[in-house]
Amino acid sequence: MVFIKRINNPLGDLGDSTHVGTDHWDYYDKYHDDTDISAFTGKAARIRTITEHRDQTLKILNAALSAGYTLKAGTISSNVNLSLPDLAADGTLVAAGGANDWGTAAQTFRSTFLRMRNPANSASYIHTTSAIGGNIVVTWPLLTADDEVLFKAFAQAITSKTIHINQNIIKASSGNAQGDIMKYDTTYGGYIKVARGTADQVWAVNGAGTDSGWATVSAGGGGSADKVKVYEGGSLVGTIARKLNFNATDFNCTNDVANDEIDIALAVSGGGGSSADEIYSNLSNNGNKYGYWVGEVNLNGFGLLGDISGFDVTPTAYLDTSTGYSGASWAISGTNAVGWKTNNPVTMRKLNPDVTFAFLLDENSDNTGSRFYAGFASTGAVTKSSSFLDSLSGFVMFKHSNENFFKIARNDGSGSMVEGSSILTTNSGFHTIRLVADESGSRFGWSLDGGALAYETTDIPSATAGLHVVFNASDDDSTNRNLRGFYTKMKMKERA
């Protein structure tokens, strides 16, 4: 279709500097008749004059010239500028109603101006940001299935979450107090806060077995159900079933804090008893084995010390009036050895053995001339040697016959035993010696009369050397002396 007729002049008339040639009018016609005149002029047409197009008169056709985009001005009432973005490369405009891809350029939406409409296009989620002072990166999780965002006040069930209690505060909305706990409540359908109980209450399950809560422990009424029967070697102590009332006269309970133990001593009832009963229990007994000998004259031990035997002299019953302890007493005279030992090795260093002897060595006013050994040794044989541990493994409390003090002797199974300095001057008083292995530090330690542990790390038994427990004394002169043993208690790790 020709919008402007050509001038009927030969082509090739380009005019001059002051005259329009007929070709110029021909180019103008072609410009409006779907012809690219840059092929003739060698340059693109450039329009600098503001040109107004009426609403819906500016169209951009597709490549096939079959359809086009018609630009609509809308019902604006004054002139406004519509700016195109500053692109660094080819780009695509986005428009409502189209499937848009915003590309890799950052898009900025100001607070409250990002709105997401509901399916009916009647209401929006309006996104509002806080007054942050710098850019904050919000990372969305790598989802593997459809999911929804979690909001703090909206009722939602959350799953698959790991909540670290040391990094979060979990509490009731109000009324929290020291000692409160949580329990599940079927009426509420979840865990609720339960206020702490009153003084001395305990948490217990009700009689029907349907709920739990605070309960008051009933006080004992003195009847047989509120007492404890005492057994020794599987038999009731005494000629009748003896029950124990917890009182200071018949029942002594000592909290041995240093050893993490409770020592319970019972007075012998009925007269004529051969010894006191010593019950040894450990408060944190998981993974440990135990043994004890309670000063019983027939050398009946229990647990780790259940297989012991005496040396040359049989002990007699003894009661120490200064301490109230009863035990076994051996007369030391002549060439006899006294005391006891385990018949077989019962422990080794890697099991962290821990043994305590309660004893009294009555020197009869002659503090030299006696020997004494108590502790761990790789032999249970009778010995009266002043070099007891030569070529043996052991860790013992030791006394030479020509010295008036006790010391620690040790050996690693080779050469002569190694002796320390004095830890106690000989006297006729009641004493305890504790000997303990600490495999984590590859060492043995000792504590006298409940004092702090002192450790040795050299010339000590190896981790796997088999060790007996020995308690032994003898004479090296003509003075008659006495060895008294009140109890021995032992524990060690359970064998792996």
> For residue 43, what pLDDT band results from cuts at 50, 70 and 90?
confident
Contact between 416 and 409 (Cβ < 8 Å): no
Q: Is the pLDDT of residue 375 over 70?
A: yes
Residue 34's pLDDT is what?
Answer: 81
The three-state DSSP-derived secondary structure of 146-166 is CCCCCCCCCCCCCCCCCCCCC
- Percentage of residues in the chain having pLDDT higher than 90: 51
**From residue 166, how far is each of 143, 147, 152 by CA, in Å?**
27, 28, 20
Residue 45's pLDDT is what?
Answer: 83
Q: Where are the beta strands (DSSP E) in 260-301?
A: 261-266, 277-282, 288-293
> For residue 87, what pLDDT band results from cuts at 50, 70 and 90?
confident
First to last CA, the chain: 104
* pLDDT, tens digit (0-9, with 9 covering 90-100), for 429-444: 999 999 999 999 999 9
Cα–Cα dist 401/473, whole Å: 10
* Average pLDDT of the segment spanning 150-162: 90
The lowest-confidence range among 46-50, 98-102, 279-283, 296-300 is: 279-283
Residue 225's pLDDT is what?
Answer: 47
Q: Is the pLDDT of residue 495 over 80?
A: no
| Rg, Å, the chain Cα set | 50
Residue 277's pLDDT is what?
Answer: 35
Cα–Cα dist 455/78, whole Å: 97
Q: How many CA atoms lie within 13 A of 226 on its CB side?
A: 9
Q: Is the pLDDT of residue 496 over 70?
A: no
- For 433, list phi and psi in degrees, rounded to 5: -125, 125
404-411: long-range contacts at Cβ-Cβ below 8 A with a sequence spacing of 24 or more?
Answer: 404/367, 404/368, 406/372, 408/446, 408/456, 410/444, 410/456, 410/459, 410/460, 410/461, 411/459, 411/460, 411/461
* pLDDT, tens digit (0-9, with 9 covering 90-100), for 396-435: 999 998 999 999 999 999 999 999 999 999 998 999 999 9
Q: Is the pLDDT of residue 266 over 60?
A: no
Q: Where are the beta strands (DSSP E) in 65-169?
A: 68-70, 114-117, 124-127
* pLDDT, tens digit (0-9, with 9 covering 90-100), for 105-140: 888 999 999 999 999 999 999 999 999 999 999 999
**From residue 390, how far is each of 4, 196, 231, 412 by CA, in Å?**
131, 62, 42, 9
**From residue 127, how far is each of 21, 110, 199 by CA, in Å?**
64, 9, 53
Q: Quick one: which of 272, 266, 269, 316 has its CA closest to 296?
A: 316
Residue 28's pLDDT is what?
Answer: 75
Mean pLDDT, all residues of the chain: 84
> For residue 336, what pLDDT band results from cuts at 50, 70 and 90?
confident
Residue 8's pLDDT is what?
Answer: 61
Structure tokens belonging to residue 445: 């330690």
Q: Which fold has domain 251-493?
A: Jelly Rolls (2.60.120)
DSSP secondary structure letter of residue 77: S
Contact between 443 and 460 (Cβ < 8 Å): yes
Q: Is the pLDDT of residue 276 over 60?
A: no
Residue type at 479 in one-letter notation: T
Q: Is this structure's pTM higher than 0.95?
A: no
Cα–Cα dist 359/373, whole Å: 12
Q: Is the pLDDT of residue 64 over 60?
A: yes
**pLDDT, greater one: 203 or 21:** 203
Cα–Cα dist 328/338, whole Å: 11
- Tokens 């409940």, residue located: 450
Contacts of 329 (CB under 8 A, 6+ apart): 315, 316, 317, 318, 482, 483, 484
Q: Where are the beta strands (DSSP E) in 294-364?
A: 302-303, 308-310, 316-319, 326-332, 337-342, 354-362
> For residue 4, what pLDDT band results from cuts at 50, 70 and 90?
low
Residue 367's pLDDT is what?
Answer: 87
**From residue 378, how far is each of 7, 217, 462, 495 by CA, in Å?**
132, 51, 11, 19
Contact between 490 and 353 (Cβ < 8 Å): yes
The lowest-confidence range among 9-18, 65-74, 446-455 is: 9-18
* pLDDT, tens digit (0-9, with 9 covering 90-100), for 195-254: 999 998 999 998 889 999 999 876 544 444 444 555 555 555 554 444 444 555 555 565
Residue 47's pLDDT is what?
Answer: 87
Contact between 467 and 353 (Cβ < 8 Å): yes
**pLDDT, greater one: 333 or 120:** 120
